[in-house]
Amino acid sequence: MGLQVHSQGCERLRSQHRSDREIIHHYESLWKESVSNWSSGEIPSVKMRYGRPTTPDYCITTVAQLIRQSNAPVTRLLELIERLKNLAGKQFYYPEPSLHITLLGCTQREPTREPFTKERIEAIRGACERVLFGRDKVEIRFRGVGIAGPQVFIQGFPNSRTWADLRNELMIAMRGIGENPIAYENKLPVHLNIARITSPAPRNVHRLLKEITALRFWEMGVVEINVVDLLITDFVLSKKGTSLLNTFELKKVTN
């Protein structure tokens, strides 16, 4: 029995190492491409006004908001954001309530909320309930600052494939009720967005890129994801653009 448990433990460890290598490769690929674009001034900047996109787009999505998770190192992250603010001028920085990681965008984006009828919301809520009910909590280690297009984010490394599995199951469930979810082929990486470039002046971008390069191995810490929210929201989870539809609590981690 002891040998069997040891063997299972070793296999889980090997699987975790394979997952980490895959995630690192993803982040490094994004980094190389984005550094080249930032250095040449090719940044697709985002226009914001009063903390919201100037061209609103909404979707129904499942997210884990950082301030609602167990012992999330929010203060440490806010200190980092403040540090970047002092360097890079007037960019958009995610306020504390908007810091989140996305599980799955359940719908495509729409210019208004009108397409999200009561019947459609209920169908999505039911599909999420069937997938998320009774599922385990997920631990994610956040380490290193990355960039992708106009986004600045913290790199997430889940401690298992559970988060990726949930994404895949939710994707299948959404397609099963006729939705076209926002899904990506590689479901392992977890991005915690902290800023978006809105003023791509070369001096600001250069200073920000220099600081981010020095933070490639910055340790934020481990977050235990125990609450997933179903929202209608814009892509930055602005206060005025977000409505809570449902909350799903994840159960205690099992070994």
Residue 13 tokens, joined: 């460890």
Task: Read off the pLDDT of residues 130-179 as tens digits, 9 standing for 90 and up.
Answer: 999 999 999 999 999 999 999 999 999 999 999 999 999 999 999 999 99
Residue 149 tokens, joined: 């297009």
Dihedral, CA atoms, 63, 65, 69, 75, nearest 10 degrees?
Answer: 150
Per-residue model confidence (pLDDT) at position 6: 44
> Are 162 and 250 spatial neighbours (Cβ–Cβ below 8 Å)?
no
Per-residue model confidence (pLDDT) at position 71: 83
Residue 89 tokens, joined: 């001028």
> Are 132 and 174 spatial neighbours (Cβ–Cβ below 8 Å)?
no
Q: What amino acid occupies position 22?
A: E
Distance CA 19, CA 181 (A): 24
Per-residue model confidence (pLDDT) at position 13: 46
pTM: 0.88
Whole-angstrom CA distances from 253 to 134, 162, 164, 172, 225 are 11, 11, 16, 24, 10
Distance CA 9, CA 141 (A): 20
Task: Read off the pLDDT of residues 201-250 as tens digits, 9 standing for 90 and up.
Answer: 888 889 999 999 999 999 999 999 999 999 999 988 988 899 999 999 99
Calculate what percentage of the chain has a pLDDT beyond 90.
71
Per-residue model confidence (pLDDT) at position 5: 41
Domain residue ranges in the chain: 2-249
Give the CATH architecture of domain 2-249.
Answer: Alpha-Beta Complex (3.90)
> Are 152 and 196 spatial neighbours (Cβ–Cβ below 8 Å)?
yes
Task: Read off the pLDDT of residues 175-197 as tens digits, 9 standing for 90 and up.
Answer: 999 999 999 999 999 999 999 99
